[in-house]
């Protein structure tokens, strides 16, 4: 029974993610939005859940690679949610008056992250994340930083919130901030690693609670 509920839930996440991405692409354009970390994280969630749905329906066993990728995506989407709510939205609201609470932003910044986290909490076996996996959570921000630098220097621009810039976020503006931007990017890497550690820690705690219930 739980397997079928899991499949239905994952199909729901897929539909919700497609809808959230569609709203953003339809309003602002694919090329304009696909360069942002939030949208890329949502696309990664969509692809991952499609594969999850396919392999679970066939009864494939979840491997070490599955849990490494799941950890990376949970960290990415969680930081996307918290960063938008507590950093990006307040800053943009202060600068431009943009509240960021329309249905488009709500889907990609809140609904999809919550659905992804709930999928782990409800359906994944606990205790499968390892502290050895934490180092992999720095891959996404590192690759995104490389992408931003290459994209900006090739003429690409980030145009959300009515601003045009070579950088998607103010803390990444190396030209204006210099070493402060480098320090900020290094701190961002530490945040991802820290969130990875927190997720693994919580996973271990949940495993212990599950064992106590079984006794």
Q: Which residue has the higher pLDDT, 68 or 2?
A: 68
pLDDT at position 67 over 70? yes
Q: What pLDDT, on the 0 to 100 scale, is given for residue 98?
A: 62
Higher pLDDT, 78 or 177: 78
Q: Residue 171 CB: number of other CB atoms within 10 A?
A: 17
Structure tokens at 43: 């696309």
pLDDT at 101: 66
Q: pLDDT category, 166, cuts 50, 70, 90? A: confident
Task: Give the pLDDT of residue 100.
Answer: 55
What count of other Cβ atoms lies within 10 Å of the Cβ of residue 214? 6
Cβ atoms < 10 Å from Cβ of 150 = 10
180-210 per-position pLDDT tens digit: 989 999 999 999 999 999 999 999 999 988 7
Instruction: Check whether 92 has a pLDDT greater than 80.
Output: no
Q: Is the pLDDT of residue 97 over 70?
A: no
What ranges in the chain are assigned the alpha helix state H? 2-28, 30-33, 37-57, 64-83, 89-96, 103-106, 112-123, 139-153, 174-177, 179-214
Confidence of residue 79 (pLDDT cuts 50, 70, 90): very high
pLDDT (tens digit per residue) in 127-163: 999 999 999 999 999 999 999 999 988 988 888 766 7
How many C-beta atoms surround the C-beta of residue 153 within 10 A?
Answer: 9
- Are 41 and 77 within 8 A, CB to CB? yes
pLDDT at 93 over 70: no
């Amino acid at each position: 029974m739980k397997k079928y509920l899991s499949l239905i839930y994952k199909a729901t996440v897929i539909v919700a993610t497609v809808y959230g991405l569609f709203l953003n692409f339809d309003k602002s354009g694919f090329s304009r939005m696909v360069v942002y970390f939030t949208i890329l994280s949502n696309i990664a969630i969509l692809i991952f859940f499609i594969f999850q749905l396919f392999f679970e329906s066939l009864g494939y066993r979840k491997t070490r690679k599955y849990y490494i990728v799941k950890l990376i995506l949970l960290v990415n989407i969680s930081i996307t949610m918290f960063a938008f709510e507590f950093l990006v939205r307040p800053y943009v609201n202060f600068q431009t008056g943009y509240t960021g609470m329309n249905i488009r932003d709500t889907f990609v910044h809140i609904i999809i992250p919550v659905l992804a986290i709930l999928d782990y909490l409800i359906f994944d076996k606990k205790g499968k994340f390892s502290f050895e996996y934490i180092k992999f959570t720095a891959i996404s921000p590192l690759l995104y930083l490389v992408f931003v630098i290459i994209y900006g220097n090739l003429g690409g621009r980030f145009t959300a919130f009515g601003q045009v810039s070579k950088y998607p976020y103010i803390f990444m503006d190396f030209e204006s901030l210099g070493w402060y931007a480098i320090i900020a990017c290094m701190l961002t890497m530490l945040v991802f690693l820290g969130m990875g550690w927190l997720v693994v820690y919580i996973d271990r705690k949940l495993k212990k609670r599950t064992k106590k219930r079984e006794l």
